Amino acid sequence: MRKDSGLWKALGCFGWVSALLGWAAAILLLRLIATPKKELPPPVPALVQSGIRGWYLHDLVFSPDGKLAYGAGDGAIDVFETESWLRIKNLVINDFGEWGVPELELSPGGKKIALIYNRKEQEKNPESFLLVYQFEPIALLLEKEIPYHAQFSHGLGWLDEDRLALLDPNGLIRVLKAGSGEAIYQNSEVCSNPSGLICNQKDHSLLLGCGQKLIAVDPEHANVRELLRLASPVRNLFLVQDGNFLAVIGQQELQVYALTDLRQVFQQGFEKEITDADYLPGQELLALGLASGWVKIVDLKTQKEIATHLLEGGPTDLIRLSPDGRWLVGSSKDYGGLSVWYLPALLRHQEAESIESLPIQFGATLQ
């Protein structure tokens, strides 16, 4: 065959193209080998042998360092070591009865825990008690009967290690000594339609959500003043950014106000009802659980939604962020389980379909 024939030229061109493709493939392979692998987040520890007594989680709080979690189901309060999420102890408190514990609050130093305990032995005579325990050694400091709370939450807080604030469903606000239950301050005319309470531990004042009103209370000087009137009822409140701003959770919106002049600095609406929320100081993250089952994480510094994730099993009835920034915990009453996410992984892989997580059933056998 003549070398100047069309076939020979075609074969030559094919050879050059094959060589170029070969070199390109080799260069790509070398680049893939030389490129360091992206570090994957550590998986969430197995939770198979952990569980919360009862069918679902009423409330969960973390120790100040995030190393312990206290979870209340329908039967008792279990204490978990969050590195492994294994139960390490159980706070033996009387039979919680049908409704269990709707709210837990750990004192600022982590030395005491206060809880609302509902006992419903008879349909016509439900009872609620405020219990306060100290740790090391565990001892009951206070058991005080209070108006029946049902599933009312966000009505309990600590002003300091020795004083508690309690907002009951009837609108009575009280400040009590944690050891004796003695009322230091009480007022039944401040708040109608109560929906939330936060304690400002800097000046020992209280902020109350009362329907569509925000009320500030100074217990030491018996001062009460209305801060704001909102378009929709308040669901929850958080002091954010070193206590200089107030995040107000409504039915389907988040609003942030500067406390100095009560100027609104941020607002965001959501497509479904907000069922619960939690705040992570320092990182200035706000996690919002929605009735649709979605969890939204908003960065208050940038005022942007930075991550979303779907909680399996129904509405997100409880959402918690650990103070050390490691864990996000979600629970749904419909699902009857608890899901734990490694928060840095959730933030880095916000577009992923599934984040490392492992749901557990509260009735799981503890071994």
Task: Judge whether residue 35 has pLDDT over 70.
Answer: no
Q: What is the pLDDT of residues 271-327, one digit of tens each?
A: 888 989 999 999 999 999 888 888 889 999 988 888 777 766 667 788 999 999 999
* Cβ count near 108 (within 10 Å): 13
pTM for this predicted structure: 0.78
Q: Give how far the C-alpha of residue 311 lies from the chain's centroid of Cα atoms, to the nearest Å.
A: 13
Q: What is the pLDDT of residues 129-177, one digit of tens each?
A: 888 988 878 888 998 888 766 555 678 999 999 999 998 888 889 999 9
Provide the residue ranges of all domains of the chain, joining segments of one domain with +. 51-153
Give the β-pairing of 173-177 and 264-269.
unpaired
| pLDDT at site 246 | 92
Question: Nearest-CA neighbor of 60 among 367, 366, 360, 365?
Answer: 360
DSSP string, 17-54: HHHHHHHHHHHHHHHHHHSPPPPPPPPPPP-TT---SS
Task: Judge whether residue 261 has pLDDT over 70.
Answer: yes
